[in-house]
Amino acid sequence: MRKANIVVVGATGAVGQVFLSIMEERRFPVDRLRLCASPRSVGKRLKVNGMEVEVEATTPEIFEGADFAFISVSTNISRQLVPIAARAGALVIDDSSAFRLEPDVPLVVPEINPEDLEHHRGVTAIPNCSTTQMVMALYPLHKASPIKRIIVDTYQAVSGTGTLAMQELREQSRTLLDGGTAKPSVYPHQIAFNVLPHIEPFMEDGYTREEQKMLYETRKIMHAPNIAVSATCVRVPVYMCHSEAVHVEFEHPMSPEEARELLAAFPGVTVIDEPSANRYPLAWQAAGKDDVFVGRIRRDSSNPNGLAMWIVSDNLRKGAALNAIQIAEEVLKRDLLARRRV
Amino acid sequence: MRKANIVVVGATGAVGQVFLSIMEERRFPVDRLRLCASPRSVGKRLKVNGMEVEVEATTPEIFEGADFAFISVSTNISRQLVPIAARAGALVIDDSSAFRLEPDVPLVVPEINPEDLEHHRGVTAIPNCSTTQMVMALYPLHKASPIKRIIVDTYQAVSGTGTLAMQELREQSRTLLDGGTAKPSVYPHQIAFNVLPHIEPFMEDGYTREEQKMLYETRKIMHAPNIAVSATCVRVPVYMCHSEAVHVEFEHPMSPEEARELLAAFPGVTVIDEPSANRYPLAWQAAGKDDVFVGRIRRDSSNPNGLAMWIVSDNLRKGAALNAIQIAEEVLKRDLLARRRV
């Protein structure tokens, strides 16, 4: 496999850091690596593959000669940077929601819809973390028996917001344990010892943007334009890994045994489902792991064609950085880099 | 209103303590008050209504002459004590799940089914905390448009388990913040900075007993034997107040505006629903309050006859102690004490 020139934008952020460590773990074939971040991190030196790499300013020129631009920044900054990187000739793998629903931008979970990459025009997107782990657990079932409707309520870790949010949880927790009062800064309300039914801005219909993503991204990734989804996305005082309670309705009944078999056979999914031994997926155990963990699979007591289940995954890995690297690996395998100049 | 003789069993527990303070707040007409608890608390003196009351051992004789026995202990101990207290002539208000589904035991939320108390035979039960706050928010809607199906995922506070669990959350949080390792004792796994999809034992069908309660108790309280319920009950690292994400399906469509009006008019419910101003119910704000708070009311994007919403309440108050006192008040108002000797 030829080696690739890579630019990582947001290299010092929560996702960027995990991206670099997974790149090492998987021995991703890197030729030249350039790291960018916001002005306050420029000049910092990060250790990658045993070498020190200096963080540079994010200029248009930095993308010259890059094969891949991995961009993990805010949606607003992505909106500006992605076209610049693509114009410079890099294949962009964007972590934001800015371009995910554009018809000519493949939104890819490589275990599910890798073939969508064939149609890229220089920009690809990775799905929202809460969507990725859900479709990883539902797609193998959907192939066996089409899914009609998904109800999902989430328990999302603060690492999804970023390193400042992790710090806020830590500091608020300590302040409250010491008898003090929490001062919210990253979140609109106290996150320590509390839960917030509010992730991303509220939209016209009363859902948040995060909740809407779970509908529209699921449809796009699974090529299932009629799937119905209702989500409540909730931030919980957990550092790492999102958990999800999912109630899914199929066209035809599916037994928990069949679901477990289908899931166990699907790459990137691990079934942990022995409730009698207190074994089910747990956020703190999934941290740092690549897989999506599924358990508590049972017949939905409110619907003969339904199943209920519990899905946990590391939101920074499969929910972001790992999925991005898998996309790059798939692009190399399929020899799709040339397409970016079409 | 005549004054009543009261025995409180479990007086030093999380619910018992709140019970005593609400009794004061509401000036419940007490004549003689006797407090019982487990052997290690016997002899302790608790301050109630400005008087010191000594904690006594729980003997059969203690219930002699009592009008009400409020019992908040484990289900196993309730199973033994409740018949003893009832035989002694007290009207029992039991907080456990031991007798809730018995046909001759009224399971009552006074705002919903107070008339069920008319048929008591010496024993009444208060519902599980997670059920009570849900039916408080759904019953006013159900009266206007019958509910067919409820999907609910919970975010339950550790105070529902008791004072030892609150201590475990506090100690584990501090240990983890200091870089140590959590040692679970009350819960099977770490609760600090984690979420546990496991409350009460697992049953044959893969649901937990807590989840099954939300089905069977809802049907009984609302006199709606055909309502379908699927719940995932999850413990979160929050001290006080349960939160619930609910997706409800009606026979006929209901608008969010209509739901808000119906809820605002229902006693014991407060609507907090201004998402654009970041106003929605929050666990840490509901602590110590009597009401059930409902917000994030929106059309269910997956069902034309559905609504989604977010329900928060103090599990020790409306979820337990307050509801128990309201039952006693209703019994006095309806002059139903005499019935206990029928």
**What confidence tens digit (pLDDT) does each residue in B259-301 have?**
999 999 999 999 999 999 999 999 999 999 999 999 999 999 9
Query: If you average pLDDT over every residue of chain A, what do you get?
Result: 96
pLDDT (average), residues A143-158: 98
Of A228, A238, A299, the CB nearest to B205: A299
Of A215, A301, A306, the CB nearest to B301: A215
User: Please, how many CA atoms are within 13 Å of residue A306, restricted to the half-sphere of its CB?
Assistant: 20
Contact A237 B232 (CB under 8 A): no
Contacts of A295 in chain B (CB under 8 A): 197
Is the distance from CB of A301 to CB of B229 less than 8 angstroms? yes
pLDDT (average), residues A106-132: 97
Length of chain B: 342
Contact A206 B298 (CB under 8 A): yes
Identify the pLDDT of residue A75: 94
- Whether A342 shows a pLDDT value over 60: the answer reads no
Tell me how close the Cα of A122 comes to any Cα of chain B, in angstroms: 33
Its ipTM equals: 0.96
- CATH architecture label of A4-127+320-341: 3-Layer(aba) Sandwich (3.40)
Catalytic residue among B120, B142, B242, B247: B242
Q: 3-state DSSP call for residue A216?
A: helix
- Whether B217 shows a pLDDT value over 80: the answer reads yes
Identify the pLDDT of residue A338: 73
Query: If you average pLDDT over every residue of chain B, what do you get?
Result: 96
| pLDDT tens per residue, range A12-27 | 999 999 999 999 999 9
Contacts of A283 in chain B (CB under 8 A): 194-195
Contacts of A278 in chain B (CB under 8 A): 188-189, 198
Identify the pLDDT of residue A49: 85
Contacts of B151 in chain A (CB under 8 A): 151, 247, 302
CATH class of B130-315: alpha beta
Same-fold call for A4-127+320-341 versus A130-315: no
Q: Please report, rounded to a whole number, the percentage of residues in chain A having pLDDT higher than 70.
A: 99
Of A243, A298, A303, the CB nearest to B195: A243
Beta strands in chain A (DSSP E): 4-9, 30-36, 45-48, 51-56, 68-71, 91-94, 123-125, 147-155, 228-232, 242-250, 269-271, 292-299, 306-313
Identify the pLDDT of residue A153: 98
Is the distance from CB of A3 to CB of A30 less than 8 angstroms? yes
| pLDDT tens per residue, range A247-298 | 999 999 999 999 999 999 999 999 999 999 999 999 999 999 999 999 999 9
Q: How confident is the model at residue B124 (pLDDT cuts 50, 70, 90)?
A: very high
- Whether A187 shows a pLDDT value over 60: the answer reads yes
Establish whether A233 is a catalytic residue. no
Residue of chain A whose Cα is closest to the Cα of B201:
A276
Establish whether A129 is a catalytic residue. yes
- Whether B49 shows a pLDDT value over 90: the answer reads no
| pLDDT tens per residue, range B192-216 | 999 999 999 999 999 999 999 999 9
Contact B230 A155 (CB under 8 A): no
Q: How confident is the model at residue A90 (pLDDT cuts 50, 70, 90)?
A: very high
Segments making up each domain of chain B, as ranges:
4-127+320-341, 130-315
Contact A275 B198 (CB under 8 A): yes
pLDDT (average), residues B222-236: 98
Q: Are strands B45-48 and B51-56 parallel, antiparallel or unpaired?
A: antiparallel
Q: How confident is the model at residue A115 (pLDDT cuts 50, 70, 90)?
A: very high
pLDDT (average), residues B65-82: 96
pLDDT (average), residues B164-174: 98
Specify the residue for token string 């007591």.
Answer: A301
